[in-house]
Amino acid sequence: MGNPPIVFPNFIMPLINAYNSTQPNTSLNLNVFAEPYYGDFNDLSVVLLTHNPGQASQSQKGLNSAFHSALVTPNTLSVEQNYYNMSVNNSFPNSATNRWVNQKNQEVGNFFQPLISFNKRLFIRDLVPYHGVQFGTLDLSMCAPYLYENFFCQIIDASMRSEFYRLLNSGNKESNGNKIVIMARGSVWNGKSGLTSVGWDLVGRIYSNCYVYKANFSKIQAMEGVILDSWPKTAISHDIYIVVITPKRGGRLVVYKTKNKVTTDYNMSNIIRNYNTISNPNSNDYIEQSPEMRDFIDIF
């Protein structure tokens, strides 16, 4: 894999050790700088979680690249310190964009239309910040303390600064239970080694490829080595949901249902309108739901 431009800091090693390269094209490229996020931590519409940033060339993200220069210039921190702290550094919003980022902004916007209208300012946070052609596998339970100290704390903090958060909780008092909703893309969040292995409850499934998880703080705080001291002080008083969409059609971030070989896309407005049908045991489209899933649907 070559020598990385910077040395791994100790705190990220549990994440790297939990990652499994299943094929040659899933190896992490350590010859270029990692890239943990797109967007501005302090000016965002909604948080979207993804696997990793995909491939990048030496000229784009390697030593002496423009990205390398940008890491050094915002303040007097060293390259290593600045890189690992840049998403909470007000002077380093990553405004770089590309067709993929623009497409995800459009897809998330479409998912919530016409219920909510966003200004297309996603904060896209990668679980593994290192580049690679494709993503392998990762057991979240192997790096739970890292995740809560260095990943979840940041995305919760960003979510509480987001336009989505303000819209969901407009006029709501803290005692009434504020809501945080985070979007996620990909399969790593599902299954036995996914979110349920680190204290999140599976609330329910929507059609073929959408799963809703809710933070269970009793389970989370009971996990060995997990400390929430770095979290925003009021975060654990919130109902926190992660909506996971596993893309299967051209990588698009859509919820879909296939019936009689016909595939139909759905957004949140469609889901709400059809919820009583899909939760009806007499319907062919029935998916067993829970009171927690009803609470989630009621948010919108």
Number of domains in the chain: 1
Query: Which domain does 160 fall in, by range?
Result: 10-299
> What band does 87 get if pLDDT is binned at 50, 70 and 90?
low
Q: How many CB atoms lie within 10 A of CB 73?
A: 10
In a domain, 3, yes or no: no
In a domain, 155, yes or no: yes
CA distance 35 to 13: 16
Lowest mean pLDDT among 6-20, 63-77, 178-192: 63-77
175 pLDDT above the threshold of 50? no
Determine, yes or no, domain membership for 37. yes
- pLDDT score at 185: 95
Is residue 5 situated within a structural domain? no
Per-residue pLDDT of 179-234, as tens digits, reads: 999 999 999 999 999 999 999 999 988 888 899 999 999 999 999 999 998 898 89
Would residue 2 count as lying in a domain? no
Is 80's pLDDT higher than 70? Answer: no
Residue 145 lies in a domain: yes
Condensed to tens digits (0 to 9), the pLDDT of residues 136-155 reads 999 999 999 999 998 999 89
Residue 298 in this model has a pLDDT that exceeds 90? no
Q: Report the alpha-carbon distance of residue 125 to residue 183 in Å, rounded.
A: 10
Distance CA 213, CA 197 (A): 12
What pLDDT score was predicted for residue 1? Answer: 42
| Side chain identity at residue 147, one-letter code | L
Distance CA 107, CA 101 (A): 10
Q: What's residue 177's pLDDT?
A: 64
pLDDT reading at 81 higher than 90: no
Query: Is 87 part of any domain?
Result: yes
With respect to residue 246, please indicate whether it lies within any of the assigned structural domains: yes
Residue appearing with tokens 């995305």: 155
Note whether 145 and 18 are within 8 A (CB): no
